[in-house]
Chains A and B, each alone.
Chain A
C-alpha cells in the first residue's frame, strides 16, 4: 500500500483494525504537540500513544532541587535557572517558594545572560541550574568557552545534564510491550538519527525521528504503525511457517528520519565536540528509571572548579505516597490512571514533577484534557 497524502495516512490511523500497538513518544515536546494537535482523539483505539522519560525536569531527583535552594539562600550567591524549574517540588520547597521567601533565584532564558551579571557583580557567585538533555548541553559548553576566555570565575554550574539515549535503551530492555519509539526531535538534531540504529537492531523495534507539527505527527505515527505491523507480522508469521528453523527469526528494527530539515544522520558534530570538550558521561539517577551508567554528563576533572557539586545528588525521597510519576515516565500507566491525578495533584498544586513541568506528561494531559475527547 502506497499512501501519500496526510489525509490518507490519517484515515488509515483512524480506521485501523489490527493488533493493538503501543507507541512511545520519548520527548515531552512531542507529548505537548500530540495534545495540541488533538491526534489522540482521531486515532483508532488499536493505537495507543504513551509518554516517555523525555522531560529533563521530570527525571531530576529532589536532592538536586534542594541543592539549588541551598545556593539561593546562601549569602552572596544567586541561583539562575530556567522557568520550568521554578515550581518543581524539592523535599521541602520549590524554587519559586524559596524566591518568594527572599531567596535569590533569577529566571533566565539563556545561560549567557549570567555573564554580564557575573562581570558586574564579581563579589557574588552565580550558580546556574543546568538541566537538560543533549539539546542544551552544547550551550553550556559554549558558556564554558566564554567563562574561561573572559577569565570569569564567579559562575558555577550545578548540572543535571543527561543523555536521552541510555534512557531509551533502558525502556527497550524493561518495557517489552512498547512497539515503537517516536524519537526526541531536538535531541536528534545534536545526536543524529544514526544513534538509534544499534537500538533498532538490538531490540528489533522501529524508531522514527520527526518534527512537532500536526502533519509531522500524523506522518510519524503512520510510519511507526506500519513498521510495527511489519515487525509483528514477521515474528508471528515466522514462528508459524513450516520449514523454518526452530528459533524465532530476529525481528527487524528500523530507523526513519522524517525530520530531515533539522536532523541529519550524523547530527551536529560541532556541537558534540563542544560537549565533549567540557563534559564526560557518568552514572546518573533518573527518577523512575533508577541509576544508569553513562546517562549523566558531568564537567570534566580539569574544570571541576566550575562545578557546584553536581555529583551524588541521587536522593529522591520527596515523591509523596501515591504519586505514580515513576510509572508515568516509563509508560507503564497513563497519567490519568494515577489516583492523585486531577484531584490531589493539579498544576497549581503539583505533587510530582510530571504535573509541574510544561514538558511533563501529567501537566500536558491535565491542561489539554484530551481524555475528554479520546
Chain B
C-alpha cells in the first residue's frame, strides 16, 4: 500500500490495492470535492449538453470524421463537431447532464494481436463514459511520443484511433502532442550520477537497431496516449447502486487482453487475441430496452475481482459468485495455468459487469448476448446482502451456498474474517467448483507470473 511506500512502484499502476491507496493517499487528499469523491469511472457535471438521438445508434456515426492528427484547435474537427450537434435539429434536441472521464494508455507493445494503443485509447475512455450510463460524444487526446518512434507506426495508431472513434460515434475535437527523450536513458546509472553514460547507451543501441527488449532500439520509440471524453447522460447508474437481490452479469470471457499482452512480451505464440472493443452495443441495447441497470463497470486493470470489490464496497453489499459460471476461454485458461495467473485478476479491454434486478436478469443477458462482443456473456452471481450484516450474514451465506454446515469452525471463522477485512469494505466470495468457498479480494501487487 502506498501508505508504506516511499516511491512509486509498478504496483501503484496495477489497478489493485496499491492504486487505490495512491488515490486515497495523494490525489483524493488534495483534490477532494463532492464530484470526484464519488470515485466513479467518470463524473456527472452540473452542466448540460444537447443530446443527439442519432448518435445513440450504434454503427451509424453522425458524420464520417476525416482522420486528422489531433492538433489543439483543429478547425476541421471543431466544425464537424458543431455540425454533428446540429444534425438532430433544434426541434429534437434535449438537454442532458454532461459526463466527463479521462484515461491514459501506456501499453507495450503498442501494436498487439487484436488491437493497438490507439484503438485502446478510444475504447477505454468511450467505455468509461458508457459505464456512466451516458452517450459518448466528444474526445480529446494527448500524445506523448518517445524519440525514435517510427512515423509509420504513429500513422497506423492514429488511423486506428480514427476508425474506433467513427465506430463509437464520437468526434476527436482537441489534442496535444509532446515528445520526450527515449526512456531507456532516463534512469540509467542514477547511482553513478553520470547521465551521459545513459545517453551514450541510447545512441549505441539505436545504431545497432533490431532485436527486442529494453536495451535496444526495439523498445524505444514508445507512445503514450491520454484521452478525455464527454458524453450526455441517459440513465444514472452508479458503482454504489448494487442492491441485495440483484444479479451480476459479465459480458464475456475474462483475461484475453492480459494473456495476449503477456504472450507478446514473452515471445509466446498462441491464438489468444486482445478483447479490445467498444461496449457501445450492449450498453445501448440495455438502455434502449429500459433495463433498470443498477451498476455498469468495465472490467479493466485489476480484473473482475478488483472491480467487484469496488462495487461491493461502494454499495455496502456482499457479492457471491459461482466459479463454474465465470467464462474463460479454454486457451486463456491453459495459459493462466502454466503462468500461475488467475483470470479473476487479469485485465480486459472490452468487458463489462452489469448489475441488474434479478427479475430483469435474463432479459438483460439476452440483450448483451445479442451483441457482437457479448456472445459469451453469463450471469455469474448475485448480490446477496448488506456488508453490515457481515459476520453472521456471510456465515449464513456460506451454508446456503454449499448446503453444508461449517458450524464447528464458525467461531474462529468470524474472528478471522473480521480481523482480515476492513469492516468498511464490501465482500466478494466465490463458490468453487467443488463446493468450497473462496474470498475474492482486490488484486495485490502487480499480478505477476510465478517463478516456479
Bound form: Cα–Cα A133–B452 in Å: 7
Bound form: Cα–Cα A117–B214 in Å: 7
The interface size of chain B toward A, counting residues with CB under 8 Å, comes to 73
Bound form: Cα–Cα A347–B267 in Å: 30
Contact call A372/B413, Cβ cutoff below 8 A: yes
- Within B206-224, the residues touching A (CB, 8 Å) are 208, 211-216
The residue that A186 contacts in the complex, of B18, B214, B413, B452, with Cβ under 8 A, is B452
Distance in Å: Cβ of B242 to nearest Cβ of chain A: 20
Task: Say whether A38 faces chain B, with CB atoms less than 8 Å apart.
Answer: yes
The residue that A83 contacts in the complex, of B189, B191, B417, B446, with Cβ under 8 A, is B446
The residue that A100 contacts in the complex, of B6, B213, B419, with Cβ under 8 A, is B6
Across-interface contacts of B5 in A (CB, < 8 A): 97, 100, 348
Interface stretch of the complex, out of B67-75, B278-286, B368-376, B435-443: B435-443
Task: Say whether A10 faces chain B, with CB atoms less than 8 Å apart.
Answer: yes
Task: Say whether B449 faces chain A, with CB atoms less than 8 Å apart.
Answer: yes
Across-interface contacts of A186 in B (CB, < 8 A): 452
What does the 1/0 interface line of B1-43 toward A look like (CB < 8 Å)?
A: 1111111111100000110010000000000000000000000
Distance in Å: Cβ of B154 to nearest Cβ of chain A: 24
Contact call A131/B451, Cβ cutoff below 8 A: yes
Task: Say whether B325 faces chain A, with CB atoms less than 8 Å apart.
Answer: no
Across-interface contacts of A101 in B (CB, < 8 A): 7, 190
Across-interface contacts of B449 in A (CB, < 8 A): 82-83, 109
The residue that A84 contacts in the complex, of B1, B8, B450, with Cβ under 8 A, is B450
Task: Say whether B86 faces chain A, with CB atoms less than 8 Å apart.
Answer: no
Given A82-B451, A121-B204, A37–B433 Cβ distance below 8 Å?
A: yes
Task: Say whether B409 faces chain A, with CB atoms less than 8 Å apart.
Answer: yes
- Within B179-214, the residues touching A (CB, 8 Å) are 187-192, 194, 197, 201, 204-205, 208, 211-214
Bound form: Cα–Cα A112–B83 in Å: 55
Task: Say whether A14 faces chain B, with CB atoms less than 8 Å apart.
Answer: yes
Bound form: Cα–Cα A68–B88 in Å: 64
Task: Say whether B112 faces chain A, with CB atoms less than 8 Å apart.
Answer: no
What does the 1/0 interface line of A25-36 toward B look like (CB < 8 Å)?
A: 001110010011
Contact call A42/B404, Cβ cutoff below 8 A: yes
The residue that A369 contacts in the complex, of B17, B262, B337, B441, with Cβ under 8 A, is B441
Contact call A75/B197, Cβ cutoff below 8 A: yes
Contact call B441/A84, Cβ cutoff below 8 A: no
Task: Say whether A232 faces chain B, with CB atoms less than 8 Å apart.
Answer: no
Given A75-B194, A117-B213, A348-B21, A212–B337 Cβ distance below 8 Å?
A: yes
Distance in Å: Cβ of B440 to nearest Cβ of chain A: 8
Contact call B212/A373, Cβ cutoff below 8 A: no
Distance in Å: Cβ of A263 to nearest Cβ of chain B: 15
Across-interface contacts of B9 in A (CB, < 8 A): 86, 96-97, 99-100
Contact call B266/A110, Cβ cutoff below 8 A: yes
- Within B413-452, the residues touching A (CB, 8 Å) are 413, 416-417, 419-421, 429-439, 441, 444-446, 448-452
Contact call B191/A75, Cβ cutoff below 8 A: yes
> Please, could you name 22 A-B residue pairs with CB atoms under 8 Å apart, sorted by A?
A35-B438, A36-B342, A36-B432, A39-B436, A41-B437, A56-B452, A75-B191, A75-B197, A83-B451, A96-B11, A97-B5, A97-B9, A100-B6, A101-B7, A104-B188, A120-B208, A121-B215, A349-B1, A359-B450, A369-B417, A372-B437, A373-B406
Chain A residues at the B interface, C-beta cutoff of 8 Å: 6, 10, 14, 27-29, 32, 35-42, 45, 55-57, 73-76, 78, 82-87, 96-97, 99-104, 106-107, 109-110, 113, 116-121, 123-124, 131-133, 135-136, 186-187, 212-215, 218, 336, 342-343, 346-349, 358-359, 363, 366-374
Chain B residues at the A interface, C-beta cutoff of 8 Å: 1-11, 17-18, 21, 187-192, 194, 197, 201, 204-205, 208, 211-216, 262, 265-267, 337, 340, 342, 394, 398, 402, 404, 406, 408-409, 412-413, 416-417, 419-421, 429-439, 441, 444-446, 448-452
4 tightest A-B contacts by CB?
A38-B436, A102-B190, A83-B448, A100-B7
